[in-house]
């Protein structure tokens, strides 16, 4: 039964109503930028949901999360349907209305864990059902979310805002219909930047299924990573996005997980891109589908793709290629890209080591591996106009000299550290680990992260400190051959930023999350 509480937002006429057994009450603060609302428990989150779902979008209000929030007891209190999302479709003054969170939410690197939602016939299911204000620095862990359309662990639907530096880990997202992803169910305009998805199962019951988002409509996705877990659906399925549409941009992002679709337009990075662009991206997971199946892109439609690579095994029946399944329209240009994966197709002629087929556009300065692809031709089909796709051996593809005209100063790097099996890798990734460091040990060290300084103290000697941001990029590293028990190092950190600090000692590595205070 919903409960009316006495706490009301100053200047707003509506009070908050609870959901299930959770009693919502307002956080401390006044919602200004100087004194933001401080969200520290499930009651505060429930208060936000109550305000938004009753028609008050909280636009112009500032929120900061000041503690990790465990929703496991909330799930028990709310019954089998679980958490009621912040935003979505609700009755306001007797009318069914689409309502959304319009404030600014900064998670400050904190976690919302054990989110549980089970509404297989309901749309807009996630921690947030609908956001139209920026959300950043928020982590969702161990979530189980089931819905119909527009389903995700963090935000089911976003409209023309910035979603940045957010992470979803060790979770399951299921939809009984279309538009499902781990991070954001549907992206209408706006930008997703610096977000991560790790060990998440996305099980889509229909089309438009992705790791970061299902459909990127005139938006941008940059500096994002998907690793572990799996992504499955019907058609238009991709590791980053199922569909990128009309001026949509994907750049400096990668996928290291398996992608599978039951039908067409299945890609390791993007299922289909139309009138958009992809640059400086890669995918390494296995990709499986029927038609228009590619290691990086299922269908490249009137779009420009440049400086990318795919290494995963690709399986389809027709229009299947190690890099892209199908390229079409005169604007469909793929340049300075390579593929390494084994390609298995049906009896169709439209199967190739690099691309399954093209009916327009061009392939410029691209390469495929003749030893690993298992295909006699790099390009399937009969049309070879505008094709510059060259087959090379594994050894040749490890030599920068092979890639005529490629930029090995800024865009590409030789794989001197063996991060990519010796094959060229992208400059933005060259100094980043393939995944954030992880350990099951209980930390024996303590970390204090301030603005400009990192301090570490331990009870026993440690020999190296490595600090990574949530994109896996190395912020600093320092070795101590003789071993020390404490140190303070300068770091270019800002208030609210979150880092993973790896402390390497004689007994193993401690990985500690630290938020800059």
What is each CA distance from 512 to 210, 466, 478, 502, 503, in whole angstroms? Answer: 29, 11, 16, 7, 8
What is each CA distance from 435 to 199, 261, 352, 461, 476, in whole angstroms? Answer: 11, 25, 31, 25, 16
Query: Is 350 strand, coil or helix?
Result: coil
Closest CA to 128 of 162, 100, 90: 100
Distance CA 295, CA 313 (A): 7
Number of Cβ atoms within 10 Å of the Cβ of 441: 11
Distance CA 204, CA 180 (A): 6
pLDDT at residue 79 in the model: 67
H, E, C per residue of 132-169: CCCEECCEEECCEEEECCCECCCECCEECCEEECCEEE
Query: For the stretch 87-119, what's the b/e string if a residue is b when 16 or more beta carbons lie within 10 angstroms of its beta carbon?
Result: bbebeeeeeeebbbbbbbbbbbbbbbbbbbbbb
For residue 404, the 8-state DSSP code is T
For residue 379, the 8-state DSSP code is B
Q: Tell me phi and psi for residue 407, to 5 degrees.
A: -90, 100
pLDDT at residue 177 in the model: 97
Distance CA 306, CA 362 (A): 12
Closest CA to 310 of 276, 249, 361, 352: 352
Cα atoms in the 13 Å half-sphere on the side-chain side of 72 = 7
Distance CA 380, CA 516 (A): 52
Q: Tell me phi and psi for residue 263, to 5 degrees.
A: -135, -125
Across the strands, what pairs with 468?
474, 500
pLDDT at residue 12 in the model: 38
What does the pLDDT profile of the chain (517 residues) look like in tens digits? 222 222 333 333 334 445 555 789 999 999 999 999 999 999 999 999 999 999 999 999 999 999 999 998 776 566 689 999 999 999 999 999 999 999 999 998 889 999 999 999 999 999 999 999 999 999 999 999 999 999 999 999 999 999 998 999 999 999 999 999 999 999 999 999 989 999 999 999 999 999 999 999 999 999 999 998 999 999 999 999 999 999 999 999 999 999 999 999 999 999 999 999 999 999 999 999 999 999 999 999 999 999 999 999 999 999 999 999 999 998 899 999 999 999 999 888 999 999 999 998 999 999 999 999 999 999 998 767 779 999 999 999 999 999 999 999 999 999 887 778 999 999 888 755 444 555 545 667 888 887 788 888 888 898 888 888 766 667 887 888 888 999 988 888 776 677 888 888 877 778 777 777 6
pLDDT at residue 452 in the model: 81
Cβ(339)–Cβ(353) under 8 Å?
yes
Distance CA 152, CA 145 (A): 7
Distance CA 139, CA 112 (A): 6
pLDDT digit string (tens) for 123-179? Answer: 999 999 999 999 999 999 999 999 999 999 999 999 999 999 899 999 999 999 999
Distance CA 367, CA 392 (A): 7
Q: Which residue has the tokens 């205070």?
A: 517
Closest CA to 449 of 481, 416, 496: 496
pTM to 2 decimal places? 0.83
In 370-507 the beta strands, taken as DSSP E runs, fall at: 387-392, 412-413, 425-426, 445-450, 453-469, 474-490, 498-505
């Amino acid at each position: 039964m919903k409960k009316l509480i006495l706490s009301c937002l100053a200047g707003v006429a509506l009070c908050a109503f609870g959901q299930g057994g959770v009693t919502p009450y307002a956080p401390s603060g006044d919602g200004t930028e100087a004194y933001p609302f401080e969200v520290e428990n499930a009651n505060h989150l429930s208060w936000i949901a109550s305000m938004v779902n009753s028609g008050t979008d909280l636009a112009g209000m500032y929120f900061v999360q000041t503690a990790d929030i465990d929703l496991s007891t909330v799930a028990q209190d709310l019954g089998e349907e679980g958490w009621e999302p912040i935003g979505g479709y609700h009755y306001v003054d007797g009318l069914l209305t689409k309502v959304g969170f319009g404030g600014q939410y900064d998670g400050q690197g904190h976690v919302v864990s054990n989110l549980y939602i089970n509404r297989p016939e309901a749309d807009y299911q996630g921690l947030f059902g609908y956001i139209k204000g920026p959300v950043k620095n928020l982590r969702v862990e161990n979530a189980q979310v089931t819905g119909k359309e527009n389903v995700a662990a963090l935000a089911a639907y976003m409209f023309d805002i910035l979603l940045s530096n957010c992470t979803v880990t060790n979770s399951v997202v299921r939809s009984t219909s279309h538009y499902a992803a781990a991070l954001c169910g549907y992206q209408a305009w706006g930008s997703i930047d610096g977000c991560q998805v790790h060990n998440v199962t996305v099980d889509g019951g229909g089309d438009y299924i992705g790791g970061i988002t299902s459909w990127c409509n005139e938006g941008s996705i940059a500096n994002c990573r998907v690793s572990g877990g799996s992504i499955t659906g019907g058609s238009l399925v991709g590791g980053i996005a199922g569909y990128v549409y009309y001026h949509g941009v994907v750049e400096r992002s990668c996928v290291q997980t398996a992608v599978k679709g039951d039908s067409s337009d299945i890609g390791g990075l993007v299922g289909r891109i139309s009138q958009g662009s992809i640059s400086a991206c890669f995918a390494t997971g296995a990709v499986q589908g029927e038609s228009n199946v590619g290691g990086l892109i299922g269908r490249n439609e009137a779009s420009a793709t440049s400086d990318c690579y795919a290494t995963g095994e690709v399986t389809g029946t027709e229009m299947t290629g190690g890099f892209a399944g199908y390229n079409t329209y005169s604007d469909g240009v793929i340049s300075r890209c390579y593929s390494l994966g084994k390609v298995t197709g049906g009896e169709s002629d439209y199967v190739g080591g690099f691309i399954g087929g093209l009916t327009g556009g061009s392939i410029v300065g691209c390469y495929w591996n003749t030893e690993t692809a298992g295909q006699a031709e790099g390009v399937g089909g009969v049309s070879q106009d505008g094709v510059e796709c060259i087959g090379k051996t594994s050894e040749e593809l490890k030599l920068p000299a092979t890639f005529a005209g490629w930029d090995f100063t800024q865009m590409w790097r030789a794989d001197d550290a063996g991060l990519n099996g010796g094959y060229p890798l992208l400059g933005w990734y060259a100094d980043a680990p393939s995944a954030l460091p992880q350990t099951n040990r209980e930390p024996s060290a303590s970390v204090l992260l301030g603005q400009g300084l990192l301090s570490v103290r331990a009870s026993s000697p440690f020999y190296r400190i490595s600090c990574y941001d949530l994109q896996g990029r190395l912020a600093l590293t320092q070795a101590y051959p003789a071993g020390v028990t404490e140190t303070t190092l300068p770091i270019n950190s800002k208030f609210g930023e979150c880092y993973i600090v790896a402390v390497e000692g004689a007994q193993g590595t401690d990985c500690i999350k630290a938020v800059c205070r």
